[in-house]
Amino acid sequence: MASVNQKQRVVVTGATGQLGSELKVILEQDLSKECFFLDRKQLPLDQIMLIQDILAMYQPDVIVHAGAYTAVDLAESETVLADQVNHLATDEIAQYCRLHGVQLIAISTDYVFDGNSSTPLTEDAAVSPINVYGETKLKGEQAIQKWCPKAIIIRTSWVYATFGKNFVKTMLRLMSERDSISVINDQIGSPTSAHDLAKAIVTIINSDKWAGGLYHYSNEGEISWYDFAVAIRELKQLDCDIVAIPTTSYPTPAKRPSYSLLDKTKIKTVYGVEVPFWRDSLAACLDSL
């Protein structure tokens, strides 16, 4: 930890991603911190041997590891690269944190679950990923737990933001180009505003307590991708027919969990994090687009 008169040094990986970009907006306003936002050029997560040396240059008190290989379908064929970035790079970061007494907050995914649950998933629910992306993220979690058991791991789902590529932006584009689109209605979960997740992470960093372990965070509510698309259409008052289809009608290289609703009780209880309702957060994002 930083001393009393010294600024807390925070390193954020994946700085140009959705969450990294939202963290940058919030943290750059905090004068009590010296923050370093590392993108894939400054911290190439596929260059495993360089990672600890690069981190040492910044001497962080806290690392928020938001960088990841997130191309879920491509991961099925780019298995080595996905493993390097999501597992082996995370292993190096965790080792660095252990060696230097650095606090680590790492982002994981609902894709560590198989989707066979019918009730919201708690942090101790059994993990069993059904795609390569989920497998590599789970290995990353396990590496953190091995080297850095006091780290905080936050699993999240269906992330979107004003930054980067995501479902919300894709829907807006398709609805403006087409009279009709088809969207899957049998995968259930809750979207996550990257802005809300970034605020939750900053709440943890600024807290006077550090309670390591697994946490879940997504917005409140339970919907399908179809419901999500319909809400986007309604909020933007677009004129496009949205057809509900089953997953079987839209085959993808990677399987998706059919149910991955996360239980947020722990993060709300331990850190007093406020979790907005999904539709309110979507409306806020659409307003700022």
SS (H, E, C) the chain: CCCCCCCEEEEEECCCCHHHHHHHHHHCCCCCEEEEEECCCCCCCCCHHHHHHHHHHHCCCEEEECCCCCCCCHHHCCHHHHHHHHHHHHHHHHHHHHHHCCEEEEEEEHHHCCCCCCCCECCCCCCCCCCHHHHHHHHHHHHHHHHCCCCEEEEECCEECCCCCCHHHHHHHHHHHCCEEEEECCCEECCEEHHHHHHHHHHHHHCCCCCCEEEECCCECCEEHHHHHHHHHHHHCCCCEEEEECHHHCCCCCCCCCECCECCHHHHHHHCCCCCEHHHHHHHHHHHC
pTM of the model: 0.97
Select from 48, 36, 55, 132 the least CA-distant residue to 90: 48
CA 131 to chain centroid, in Å, comes to 17
The domain of 122 spans 8-165+191-221+260-276
In the prediction, which pLDDT does 76 show? 98
Q: Tell me, yes or no, whether 82 lies in a domain.
A: yes
In the prediction, which pLDDT does 250 show? 94
In the prediction, which pLDDT does 5 show? 67
How many Cα atoms sit within 13 Å of 43 on the Cβ side?
28
CA dihedral (152, 157, 163, 164) positive or negative: positive
Q: Tell me, yes or no, whether 170 lies in a domain.
A: no
Cα–Cα distance for residue pair 227/244, rounded to 1 Å: 9
CA 266 to chain centroid, in Å, comes to 17
In the prediction, which pLDDT does 113 show? 98
Task: Residue count of the chain, please give it.
Answer: 289
Q: Tell me, yes or no, whether 246 lies in a domain.
A: no
Q: Tell me, yes or no, whether 252 lies in a domain.
A: no
Annotated catalytic residue within 96, 111, 133, 226: 133
Cα–Cα distance for residue pair 81/46, rounded to 1 Å: 7
Q: Which residues pair with 38 in a beta bridge?
A: 13
Q: Tell me, yes or no, whether 172 lies in a domain.
A: no
In the prediction, which pLDDT does 275 show? 98
Cα–Cα distance for residue pair 257/254, rounded to 1 Å: 10
Q: Tell me, yes or no, whether 109 lies in a domain.
A: yes
Q: Tell me, yes or no, whether 22 lies in a domain.
A: yes
Q: Tell me, yes or no, whether 23 lies in a domain.
A: yes
In the prediction, which pLDDT does 4 show? 58
195: left (phi over 0), alpha (psi -120 to 50) or beta: alpha
In the prediction, which pLDDT does 40 show? 96
Domain count, the chain: 1
Please confirm, yes or no, whether 259 is among the known catalytic residues.
no
**Binned average pLDDT, 10 residues per bin, the chain of 289 residues:** 76 98 97 97 98 98 98 98 98 98 98 97 98 98 98 98 97 98 98 98 97 98 98 98 97 97 98 98 97
Select from 163, 189, 154 the least CA-distant residue to 285: 163
CATH number for 35: 3.40.50.720
